Amino acid sequence: MKAFIFDLDGVITDSAEYHYLAWKALGEELNIPFDREFNETLKGVSRTESLERILRLGGREHDFSVEEKEQLATKKNEHYVSLISNITHADILPGVEAFLSEIRQAGYKVGMASASKNAYMVTKQLGLLAAFDHIVDAATVAESKPHPEVFLKAAEALRVEPKDCIGVEDAVAGVEAIHAAGMFAVGIGDPAVLTEADVVFTDTTGLTLDNVLTRI
């Protein structure tokens, strides 16, 4: 193995919670309430596709024009950006910074494959830009996870073969994307949800090089 490629939301920081709150508020405005279980199906999925899924849930997928859908997505994003504006170094999930240092010292390349167009901004606010050799700009990615594109782009930028990469994800769609890219999948979260991952740690404190390498 030569590289680690990380998802951002739910793996490096808990911005997944802020995505949930912002989508939930929009959903309630549209009379489409949803719970955390449905929210699992939005994790790792692009902004546009997330909105489509919410509208489908409420049977409202034909109620809005393309322009209106763009406005709804923008509204959610403005809410999300306001929620994350206070994110600091203290919001890095436990064990993540130590793990990033450990793998850097051990000579692994380190990439980020986030579906978020806010990934660079969030990473900068966390003070972690220097920990990554490459962050894929989600704006340049055409296909949403579970499509492997974002992970393949990260591997290419790191000049590492996909089979030599370990992907780390908290989302079902993300784990699928890692496997579709031909990489080893580390899941962070509930093993009953992330059933397809090659190894699952219930939270980020399980991330140590030893813990990962002994399971490959």
Q: Is residue 149 close enough to count as binding ligand B16 by CB under 6 A?
A: no
Nearest-CB residue to Mg ion?
10
Which residue in the set 92, 100, 115, 165 belongs to the binding site for ligand B16 (CB under 6 A)? 115
Does residue 16 bind ligand B16 (CB under 6 A)? yes
DSSP assignment of 7-74 equals -SBTTTBTHHHHHHHHHHHHHHHTT----HHHHTTTTT--HHHHHHHHHHHTT-TTSS-HHHHHHHHH
- Beta-bridged to residue 9, according to DSSP, are 13
Is 9 annotated in the active site?
Answer: yes
The distance of closest approach from Cβ of residue 169 to Mg ion in the complex, given in angstroms and rounded to an integer, is: 6
Nearest CA among 216, 3, 215, 1 for reference residue 109: 3
159 burial level (CB within 10 Å; 0-12, 13-18, 19+): exposed
In the list 4, 5, 6, 9, the residue contacting Mg ion (rule: CB under 5 A) is: 9
Query: In the complex, what is the shortest distance from the CB of residue 69 to ligand B16, in angstroms, rounded to a whole number?
Result: 14
Would you call 141 helix, strand, or coil by DSSP? coil
Active-site hit among 7, 133, 190, 210: 7
Structure token digits, residue 101: 């240092």
- Could you give the C-alpha distances from 126 to 8, 88, 162, in angstroms and in order? 11, 5, 27
Question: Which of ligand B16, Mg ion, none sits in contact with 116, Cβ below 5 to 8 A by type?
Answer: ligand B16
Residue 117, contacted partner among Mg ion, ligand B16, none, CB below 5-8 A by kind: ligand B16
Q: Which of residues 158-177 bind Mg ion (CB under 5 A)?
A: 170-171
7 included as an active-site residue: yes
Q: Which of 110, 138, 141, 197 binds ligand B16 (CB under 6 A)?
A: 138
Residues near ligand B16 (CB under 6 A) are 7-10, 16, 19, 42-47, 50, 77, 114-118, 138, 171
Please list the active-site residues.
7, 9
